Amino acid sequence: MTMKSDVEIARAAQLRPIAEIAGTLGIAEEHIEPYGRYKAKLTPAALAGANGANGKLILVTAINPTPAGEGKTTTSVGLADALHRQGKKTVVALREPSLGPCFGMKGGAAGGGYAQVVPMEDINLHFTGDFHAITTAHNLLAALIDNHIFQGNALDLDVNRIVWKRVLDINDRALRHVVTGLGGRVHGIPRESGFDITVASEMMAILCLSDGLTDMKRRLGRILIGWTRGGRPVHADELGATGALTLLFKDAIKPNLVQTIGGTPAFIHGGPFANIAHGCSSVMATKYALKCVDYVVTEAGFGADLGAEKFFDIKCRLAGLSPNAVVIVATVRALKMNGGVPKDALGTENLDALRRGAANLEKHIENVGKYGVPAVVAVNVFPTDTEAELALLTELCARLGVTAVRSEVWAKGGEGGLALADAVMDALGKPADFHPIYDAKKSIAEKIETIAKEIYGADGVDFTDAAQKQMAEMETLGMTETPVCMAKTQYSLSDNPALLGRPAGFRITVRELRASCGAGFVVALTGNVLTMPGLPKVPAAMGMDITEDGVITGLF
């Protein structure tokens, strides 16, 4: 039997009309806006008629990942399908994939194998246009800034201190650093600038943190666009077009409803970068879901040191959410890599390396405990894993007082996640006492130090001169009592991607602080954070095709 590709599996799935899926949530057909036959947006009115549940919130996070990712989305979908199979009312709440990585490295981001959200080809491509709305609004604001300067610069903006760049949902390294406004007097004012990928836009974070259009408008207006020559911060509102920016989000703000291959309702909405933003799907989608069903499975970007920390300290704090259980996804392969095994030897049994690498998992388990939420480990099984390795991993987790279960959702869908579902139900039976790791009222330095010491295991934090100067600016901006959004490598608990496992005796260097005044957090950058990816030598786009009849190949 030949292995089927993700797109083949997805196309073979029997989908139910989206109105039927909405119906299972208690949402009437007139409260959804269909996009094709199998996608819909949920209107605010949908909530009114929803089942009225008060669901439990389950976060799926992971150990520090290898470059290929550890299967958080796949595990989230499979777990939700397993709960659904057990007759439990469940929704999986995911992030929307970005087009850039889809055509670059990854191919797609809608789960994998038999644990996918469908229609995967739509979700991976333009979906319902939410990201395009962000691209448009972000670039409209940029155009308004340059136009303001061109038309006389009444605000006295300093062209060397415009912080608002442009975005495209494409991997395009040539746009990272550009000079715009060239060509002479009638073509604008020359200045240095650049493009980020759309998912890195502050507007994406705003979309994901807003609780409605009014809140969103307020946040959009507060975006810091730059500074005057006199050193005064200038916010988007001063350009007078916050209403127009909000208008562009009139549909994007509505959560999207699709389904998994297993027939579980899926809310897919927003997808902010997990480094310069908080990397979680929208607050509105999560809150809608909790009103509709008893169990909501959601995910956060990268490993638990980044994704879960920001899910807890930013999303849950700002939205008043209280998570009830956490699933930490681990793979034998990635733990062996954390134990020092090179990439090309990961297929060989190596219990010593696994034992060493499991220190990474151990730290993440400890960390989740610090937030007061019960944890379960999901071992995402690969064909190369040996029974001895899997048994050792279970044993190591048991010693830490945590259940580890094998997850085979990629190969078997919900059926492969039934054991995981049982373990999650056990965890939900334990008392949860969620609390963020730091007090937002503390100083920025104290907040960062708490995260670095408690979560990363660092000895302390060093701030560069630039970062110290920016810390003072945060006072001017009124951004001292907000959460902190850490931008750090996902490959290590430290800020050095080479330090795998559970490093010790290191310090974190914060080299820059940025104010996301609209999103409502201060970004602390450690190391080099790339906000516009590049394409590889052979982009995934090369292998893609579609026939006249719509048969798609090359989308993973």
Q: Binding segment for a second copy among 27-35, 201-209, 459-467, 494-502 (CB under 8 A)?
A: 27-35
Q: Return all residues near 25 (Cβ < 8 A) that are at least 6 apart.
A: 50, 51, 91, 257, 265, 292, 293
Q: Could you say which residues in the range 236-295 bind a second copy, by CB under 8 A?
A: 240-241, 243-248, 250-251
- State the Rg of the chain over Cα: 23
| Contact between 132 and a second copy per CB under 8 A | yes
Q: Binding segment for a second copy among 57-65, 169-177, 228-236, 442-450 (CB under 8 A)?
A: 169-177
H, E, C per residue of 502-524: CCCCCEEEECEEEEECCCCEEEE
Q: Is 285 annotated as a binding residue?
A: no
* Cβ atoms within 10 Å, residue 422: 16
Tell me the closest approach of the beta carbon of residue 304 to a second copy, in angstroms: 30
| Contact between 185 and a second copy per CB under 8 A | no
Spacing of C-alpha 483 from chain mean position = 17
20, 48, 156, 212: which one binds a second copy (CB under 8 A)? 212
CB 317 within 8 Å of CB 307? no
Decide if 103 is catalytic.
no
What are phi and psi for residue 334, nearest 5 degrees? Answer: -70, -35
HSE on the CB side for 474, CA within 13 Å? 25
The token duo for 429 is: 């039976």
| Contact between 169 and a second copy per CB under 8 A | yes
| Contact between 147 and a second copy per CB under 8 A | yes
Tell me the closest approach of the beta carbon of residue 252 to a second copy, in angstroms: 8
Query: What stretches of 238-280 show up as alpha helix (H) in DSSP?
Result: 242-247
Q: Which of 97, 316, 133, 128 is nearest to 213 (CA)?
A: 133
Decide if 469 is catalytic.
no
Q: Is 180 annotated as a binding residue?
A: no
Instruction: In whole angstroms, give the CA distance from residue 172 to residue 166.
Output: 12
Decide if 95 is catalytic.
yes
Instruction: In whole angstroms, give the CA distance from residue 451 to residue 446.
Output: 9
| Contact between 213 and a second copy per CB under 8 A | yes
The token duo for 253 is: 């703000």
| Contact between 490 and a second copy per CB under 8 A | no
Q: Is 41 annotated as a binding residue?
A: no
Q: Is 68 annotated as a binding residue?
A: yes
CB 148 within 8 Å of CB 38? no
Q: Return all residues near 144 (Cβ < 8 A) that are at least 6 apart.
A: 239, 241
| Contact between 186 and a second copy per CB under 8 A | yes
Decide if 382 is catalytic.
yes
70, 146, 196, 299: which one binds a second copy (CB under 8 A)? 146
Tell me the closest approach of the beta carbon of residue 86 to a second copy, in angstroms: 33
| Contact between 123 and a second copy per CB under 8 A | no
Number of residues that bind a second copy (CB under 8 A): 82
Q: Could you say which residues in the range 520-539 bind a second copy, by CB under 8 A?
A: 534-535, 537, 539
Instruction: Say whether the peptide bond before residue 483 is cis (omega within 30 degrees of 0).
Output: no
Q: Which is nearer to a second copy, 119 or 501 (CB)?
A: 119
CB 125 within 8 Å of CB 10? no
Q: Which of 267, 273, 312, 410 is catalytic?
A: 410
94, 157, 170, 208: which one binds a second copy (CB under 8 A)? 170
Q: Could you say which residues in the range 38-57 bind a second copy, by CB under 8 A?
A: 41
Tell me the closest approach of the beta carbon of residue 118 to a second copy, in angstroms: 15
Q: Binding segment for a second copy among 147-155, 223-231, 332-340, 352-360 (CB under 8 A)?
A: 147-155
Decide if 164 is catalytic.
no
Q: Active-site positions?
A: 72, 74, 95, 106, 274, 302, 382, 410
- Known binding residues: 66-73
- Known binding residues for ATP: 66-73
